[in-house]
Amino acid sequence: MCFSATASFSAGALLLGVGTLTLKSATRPRELPFATIPLLFAIQQLSEGVIWLTFRYETPMLNVVMTYIYSVFSHVLWPIYVPLAVLLIEPSTRRRRLLVAFVAVGVAVGLYLLYFLYALPIVSRPIGQHIEYVSPHFFAAESMSLYLVSTSVSPLLSTLRLVKVFGVLALLSFIAAYLFYAIWFISVWCFFAALMSAVVYLQLLSRSLPLKESRS
């Protein structure tokens, strides 16, 4: 899991398979960003697998590069990408208007965290069979709350049942990871979130997207 190189690589390989199936299930251009979520999670998990290997083989330069690649996914991409992907497949005009605000929140927190990735060095280190990412920035509680809103609350606004399920699982895993793995929160929660990518495939497989837009 995010608990070893083997688990990260295994999760990444599994998600590559799920992601391939998910992309094949997408039939409309507006579904593609949502369908790409498993593949993006796969890249993130594989990058963390490499980070594990940099500890074992003592390659500090590669560690820095892969840590930043992983952190761009975890800190910057997801708070922007998730609400945008949900917005694009949402059939309800009213809900889409609400989701635009969540996209704006995601962009704000993503750019804020991107600035600190640039301004202050982020460090990854193995502690207690997990990877801890030390990412200094101000207003941690506030930025974490906005991150949660954009990545986990935005899917709950969807009128699509399985998108709501994705949001519920994201929210529950967020809470569980924070309560039980607070020090390694970023690594562990991203692993749980990656496993939830199966819900993305089920949503597209279900063909529950209506052909016409709804006003509700």
Any idea where the domains of the chain sit in the sequence? 5-206
Q: Is 120 helix (H, G, I), strand (E, B) or coil?
A: coil
Q: What's the chain's average pLDDT?
A: 86
How far apart (Å, rounded) are the C-alpha atoms in residues 72 and 52? 17
Of the pLDDT bands very low, low, confident and very high (cuts 50, 70, 90), residue 1 is very low
Per-residue pLDDT reduced to its tens digit, 158-181 = 999 999 999 988 888 777 766 655
Question: Which pTM does this prediction carry?
Answer: 0.88
Range 5-206 classified under CATH 1.20.58: no
Q: What is the mean pLDDT of residues 120-129?
A: 86
pLDDT band of 211, cuts 50, 70, 90: very low
**Res. 89: pLDDT tops 60:** yes
pLDDT at 182: 54
pLDDT for 205 equals 81
Q: How many CB atoms lie within 10 A of CB 150?
A: 27
Task: Convert 16-52 to b/e letters by CB count within 10 Å (16 or more is b).
Answer: bebbeebbebbeeeebebbbbbbbbbbbbbbbbbbbb
pLDDT of 214: 46
E strand segments, the chain? 123-127, 130-134
pLDDT of residue 186: 63
